[in-house]
Amino acid sequence: MVVFWAGLVVMLAASVLLWKRIRRSPGLLMVHVGCILIIVGVVFLILGLATIVWSRHEEKSYFDSLATRTNDLREFTEHWPQRPQPGSLKVGGWIALAIGLLMLVVGAAFWLWA
């Protein structure tokens, strides 16, 4: 993720330095930055929703596995096989949704303001 953000910042800085028209017109820069923020915000929203759905599936399968396998309690005593904790997936999903929504709103404001 750090590589993605670093690459995005480098490409944006290079475009500002190499393209003279974008330096003379701040509105043009705001339109481009707004579009980038909108796209990245939508990606975060999709990832957040997918993570929340995944956590609900994991939670359901975790709690239903005791009822379906009465002879095997190894999963509950040794925590094997390893599973992501549904609570942490939910929290991560909500954080991704919040970041995505914030980026979407800021990007839309930049895009409409320019």
Mean pLDDT by 10 residues, the chain (114 residues): 84 84 82 88 94 88 66 66 76 94 93 83
Q: Are 110 and 37 in contact (CB under 8 A)?
A: yes
Q: Is 85 helix (H, G, I), strand (E, B) or coil?
A: coil
Radius of gyration from C-alpha coordinates of the chain = 22
Structure tokens at 95: 């954080």
> What is the domain count for the chain?
1
Q: Can you give the residue range of the structural domain that contains 100? A: 26-64+83-114
Does 77 map to a domain? Answer: no
pLDDT at 104: 93
Q: What is the pTM of this model?
A: 0.71
What distance in Å separates the CA atoms of residue 32 and residue 14, rounded to the nearest whole number? 13
Does 48 map to a domain? Answer: yes
User: Where are the alpha helices (H) located in the chain, listed in sequence order?
Assistant: 2-18, 20-24, 26-68, 74-78, 86-113
Does 37 map to a domain? Answer: yes
pLDDT at 41: 93
pLDDT at 36: 86
